[in-house]
Structure 1
Amino acid sequence: MLQSIITGSGSYLPKKIVPNSSFEGVIFYDENRQPITKPTPEVIQKFADITEITERRYVDNDDIMNSDLATEVGRLAILDAGINKEDLDYIIVAHNFGEIDAHERQIRIMPSISALTKHKLGVKNIHCKPYDMNFGCPGWNEGMILADQFIKAGIAKKILVVGSETLSRSVDPFDRNCMIFSDGAAGVVLEAKESEVPVGILNHYTRSDNGEEISFLDTDTSLNPNYAGSKVNIRMKGRKIYEYALTHVPQVIKNVIDNAGYHIKDINKVLIHQANAKMDHAMLNRVFKLYGLGIKDIPERIAPMTIQKFGNSSVATIPTMYDMMVKGNFENQTLKSGDLVIFASVGAGMNINAILYKMP
């Protein structure tokens, strides 16, 4: 049987560490575009209590573009997989805003990030197709799902799947939610391998709610009427997203597990997109509740967390966790042969997806 297996991975964490204290001089504005009267340190502390974020990573050089991050992790993943870059059939790059100029904060989506990544990797193969995946935070997952379908349809053998973001350039500096987002990139090489034993991507499922949910995560002008920066800033309805995620993500995860013939007790790791620690904990609790289990039944360290130190790097968060674990760079977190792993994410659209992956 033809299986889709990760054979190499790579990740990039910017060196610039931005602690919560760096926002203490900011006057945040509310949704009515009025200055928040509470002292900023109090606003920051409430934010930290909910999200558990204490710091995040930003690109530290204005000349570095999103495609540069994607190229670096692509290079690392190709090296780790031990393949010839010219043998790649597809380069799939997930992102939300393409290239963003650090000064004027203008968004550039032509040429595509994937085409730029192929160019910067020096891939000459004209049959290697660059493909952008714009699917909100679940974009890397959806890129993996697409790659799996290409492989199992027999039209591709080697695919690079990357998630890359420079979200620090797409946030409204006067919106308290700007403290959530961060920069980073990670990716994998997914290869077609023959195996009589099911391994690699075993199952996946995607749900897209594009009715009223379309406005839960959007872009808008700054909350500060006097801000002369970008007119395209991330805007999110936090309460709506929280309620949506808790209602639907646990069932999507359960569907993927059940339809593959497994039980939550068979799962070794759940890599959930790092958007909000409180939300992630609640989603995992609800997954176990769907199986008639309680909090006490959740194995220790089943759901690793990086948001406290890395923030929310959107499409890069899940592959970053994966790469850190397989490389031994994640304290008290490892992946071994035979482990069953869930990759699950929710984001703009609104879109949800989950993948069940068995380590080879």
Structure 2
Amino acid sequence: MTKIIGTGSVLPELVVPNSEFNNNTFFDKKGIEIDSPGSAITAKLETITGIRERRYIPFDQDSRPLMIEAAKTAIADSGLDPNDLDGIIVAHNAGNILVGEHAFHTVPNMGAYLKNALGITNHEFFAYDILFACPGWLQGVIQAHQAIECGSAGNVLVVGIEVASRMLDPHDMDSMVLADGCGAAVFSKGDNGVISHATFSHANDDIDAIYLGKSNKEDVGGSCWFKMNGRDVYRYATTWVPKVVKKALEKASLSLTDIDMFLFHQANEKLNLAIAKNLSDLYEVGADFFAGKLPMTIQFLGNTSVATIPTLLDMVLKKNLGDFEIKEGNTVVMASVGAGMHCNALVYRF
């Protein structure tokens, strides 16, 4: 099996409450101004998503320091030297977000930047990026598992980095859900660990559910603003995440009631509760089965996209999220969903 031997995460220093957006003027997707004060719109956002605040990196900083700090924390937690690694996989949505520009760079790739920053001199090594939207970190874990299982790597660092704050349209309510963050984990061979996994990629009528595009306000320049068709995303997530989790459980010959905790992508509080309800319906168990098994960070971290699951995992493992605790022998499901649309799930025994 492939096991986690170290984790790390970084919470950016700028705390941004919903009230920060109270003076914004919001427009709908047709460019028509919404006839409601910003405070009413932010209140609606909190009701729908559960988000009270989120975190951004300093605006004089690019993406790399956040990634490097989380990676170093995970490596230190593993007890390894960086040169003990055989590979790095960095999941992201926009590479290195630049300072003072509405732009990002993907060359050199983030994996190369990180290898350089860690001082890794071994060239018999892979350092690549994965672009798979919010499920990217979990897909990176699956690829690390495959590399370790086939003998091409012994220790692999998988990082999820998101700096969404530079791509948020200040005139679009949907932009307020996103935030910055980074989480990482080191994987190696062990007796316990990854039991099974499943991935679905549809990319059919749902291809435009989440995308980058123009601002809702006509006179704002640029075409790399985050855009989302919320109802389509909700429909996809509540339909397919339960099914991809069920697929992974079937591969492991396990049932829902064998699972001790669920680490879901943190996109929306109500969305996660709906996914849990639909998953419990598939197994004909009561929704109360999830009580105490569904930790969330969405309320105070917002949606950090590809960084949500590794951050959540790190906080729970280090007992930094209330009473949630993963104990030896516990079986945990991790599941994510995002632009494409894609979704995936992984079953892990600690």
Which residue of the partner structure matches residue 281 of structure 1? 273
- After superposition, residues 117-196 of structure 1 pair within 5 angstroms as 117-193=114-190, 195=191
Question: Which whole-Å CA distance do the structure 1 matches of 2:290 and 2:137 have between them?
Answer: 26
Contact 1:246 1:283 (C-alpha < 8 Å) held by counterparts: yes
Question: Which whole-Å CA distance do the structure 2 matches of 1:20 and 1:237 have between them?
Answer: 21
The question of 1:214 aligning with 2:211 is answered no
Contact 2:63 2:98 (C-alpha < 8 Å) held by counterparts: no
Deviates more, 1:241-250 or 1:137-146: 241-250
Superimposed CA distance per residue, residues 177-232 of structure 1 (whole angstroms, 9 cap, x where no aligned partner): 11100001010000123x3xxx200000000001121111111011111113x421
Residue among 24, 38, 41 paired with 2:22: 24
**1:161 counterpart SS class:** strand
**1:214 counterpart SS class:** coil
Which residue of the partner structure matches residue 338 of structure 1? 329
Q: Which structure 1 segments of 5+ residues have no match? A: none
| Paired residue type of 1:207 | F
The question of 1:307 aligning with 2:304 is answered no
Question: Which whole-Å CA distance do the structure 1 matches of 2:161 and 2:290 have between them?
Answer: 31
Superimposed CA distance per residue, residues 101-125 of structure 1 (whole angstroms, 9 cap, x where no aligned partner): 2311211110001111111111111
**2:340 counterpart SS class:** coil
**1:337 counterpart SS class:** coil
| Paired residue type of 2:208 | S
Question: Which whole-Å CA distance do the structure 1 matches of 2:301 and 2:77 have between them?
Answer: 23
The question of 1:328 aligning with 2:298 is answered no
Which residue of the partner structure matches residue 250 of structure 2? 258
1:69–1:29 CA distance, 2 compared to 1 (3 A)? same
| Paired residue type of 1:212 | D
- After superposition, residues 218-233 of structure 1 pair within 5 angstroms as 218-228=211-221, 230-233=222-225
| Paired residue type of 1:217 | I
**2:241 counterpart SS class:** helix
TM-score normalized with structure 1 length: 0.95
Question: Which whole-Å CA distance do the structure 1 matches of 2:142 and 2:118 have between them?
Answer: 23
Number of aligned residues: 350
Question: Which whole-Å CA distance do the structure 1 matches of 2:125 and 2:74 have between them?
Answer: 16
Question: Which whole-Å CA distance do the structure 2 matches of 1:174 and 1:216 have between them?
Answer: 19
Question: Which whole-Å CA distance do the structure 2 matches of 1:22 and 1:97 have between them?
Answer: 25
Which residue of the partner structure matches residue 86 of structure 1? 83
Displacement of 1:264 in angstroms is 0.9
Contact 1:68 1:117 (C-alpha < 8 Å) held by counterparts: no
Same amino acid, percent of matched pairs:
39
Question: Which whole-Å CA distance do the structure 2 matches of 1:172 and 1:182 have between them?
Answer: 13
**2:108 counterpart SS class:** coil
Question: Which whole-Å CA distance do the structure 2 matches of 1:101 and 1:227 have between them?
Answer: 19
**1:213 counterpart SS class:** coil
Q: Which structure 2 segments of 5+ residues have no match? A: none
| Paired residue type of 1:276 | N
Contact 1:338 1:358 (C-alpha < 8 Å) held by counterparts: yes
Question: Which whole-Å CA distance do the structure 2 matches of 1:187 and 1:92 have between them?
Answer: 10
TM-score normalized with structure 2 length: 0.98
| Paired residue type of 2:325 | T
- After superposition, residues 290-301 of structure 1 pair within 5 angstroms as 290-296=282-288, 298-301=289-292
Structure 1 segments (4+ residues) deviating >3 Å: none
Question: Which whole-Å CA distance do the structure 2 matches of 1:269 and 1:226 have between them?
Answer: 47
